[in-house]
Structure 1
Amino acid sequence: MAIWLTENPEANELLEREPLALLTGMLLDQQIPIEVAFAGPKKILDRLGSLDARTIAEYDQDKFVALCSTPPAIHRFPGSMAKRVQALCQALVVDYDGSAENVWTQGDPNGAEVLKRLKALPGFGEAKAKIFLALLGKQRGLAATGWQKASGDYAKKGVFRSVADITDQTSLQNVRAHKKEMKAAAKAAKAAPEV
């Protein structure tokens, strides 16, 4: 199954072939539309000429922030997110020989170990790590034993809970509708008087 997380075919193709692009898109996926977040890696590639973890990790930080802030920026908070992208790449260089894919393949890890590794990456909390693990399992053929259990509800089939469930424009809208329902339910619960 081909990755479809942006409306730009070239950006989707990059996500499909380059594990660092997919991991970086997931990192950027907060407080902006999904398709903007996952288009970020293509913007970095176009401006830097490379999407190599070592190159990004060693790049002058101020110049990298400027590169990521140039309109259209990679994120609505381009400065802080550029620093996170660099920190992510630095961690990949130190711990995974500069390979994003090694996070989920090095040493043939099980699902729980992949989740642990993802959570240890800069910018990846519990939910983001579980969603990315589900994305790897549902759309990238991850064979790690127990990935479904480790990613929890995000592994369920036939739901539209996260980016792991997006394969086209319709599923994107379904995920948006689910998120809207969840926000409304949380807001209603917060506003409800205590009994």
Structure 2
Amino acid sequence: MSTTIRLAQEPEADALLGRSPLAALVGMLLDQQVPMEWAFSGPWTIAVRMGGDDLDARAIAAYDPDAFAALLSQKPAVHRYPSSMAGRVQQLCQYLVERYDGDPSAVWRDVATGDEVLERLLALPGFGKQKAQIFLALLGKQFGVRPDGWRAAAGAYGEEGSYRSAADITGPETLARVRAFKQEAKRAAKAAKAARDDK
């Protein structure tokens, strides 16, 4: 798995996402309540602070939890909530070590159907339905992981030509389109809520 990724909008961080399945999973895990570029830069920041240029599930799983939280909390922090996200990253890595011998790509490698990959992603700590579907769409659209029915399993995020999520970002222009889509969706949700409240 090595591909050109433009999610962090930083060359070294994007290069890590493109070559490391664990970095891609951790970036997806961090992608909540912060801008996407911040979330997907997180794996590179963690790798550098751990003294390397790659991530290892076993090393993260075994790291002292307080020290790992401190690592993510250093300025600039890896996330708006660095301590709680440090715990989630470690839980994810511990799960990968226990279930997949520390090999994140085993989550989707040689899996026959999109539904099965989705099921495995949903079992990962910190991955709800939306996050799992977006990651499945990212695997299909940008990493070439396309088991039977992957688009359907990814829901709307799997649609060709859509600009809904991280799965659709290939550079600054598509980032702007995804951001515009999310803002419009928020506006529509607010308007719908206001209409309900007025009844």
The residue number in structure 1 matching 2:115 is 112
Distance 1:121 1:15 in 2: 18
- Cα deviation for residue 158 of structure 1 reads 1.2
Distance 2:168 2:146 in 1: 18
- Cα deviation for residue 49 of structure 1 reads 2.4
Aligned-partner SS, 2:108: helix
Aligned length: 194
- List alignment gaps of at least 5 residues for structure 1: none
Residue by residue, what CA displacement relative to the aligned partner does 1:118-150 show, whole Å, maximum 9, x if unpaired?
Answer: 011111000000000000000000031111110
Distance 2:94 2:131 in 1: 19
Q: Which amino acid aligns with 2:102?
A: G
1:70-85 map, 5 Å: 70-85=74-89
Q: Is 2:28 aligned against 1:26?
A: yes
Residue 99 (structure 2) aligned to one of 95, 100, 113: 95
**Kindly, what percent of the aligned residue pairs are identical?**
58
- List alignment gaps of at least 5 residues for structure 2: none
- Cα deviation for residue 108 of structure 1 reads 2.7
Say what the alpha-carbon RMSD is for the aligned residues.
1.1
Does the 8 Å contact 2:38/2:79 carry over to 1?
A: yes
Q: Is 2:167 aligned against 1:131?
A: no
- Cα deviation for residue 10 of structure 1 reads 0.4
Distance 1:108 1:27 in 2: 22
Q: Which amino acid aligns with 1:8?
A: E
Distance 1:40 1:84 in 2: 13
Distance 1:150 1:67 in 2: 36
- Cα deviation for residue 6 of structure 1 reads 1.3
What TM-score results when the alignment is normalised by the length of structure 1?
Answer: 0.97
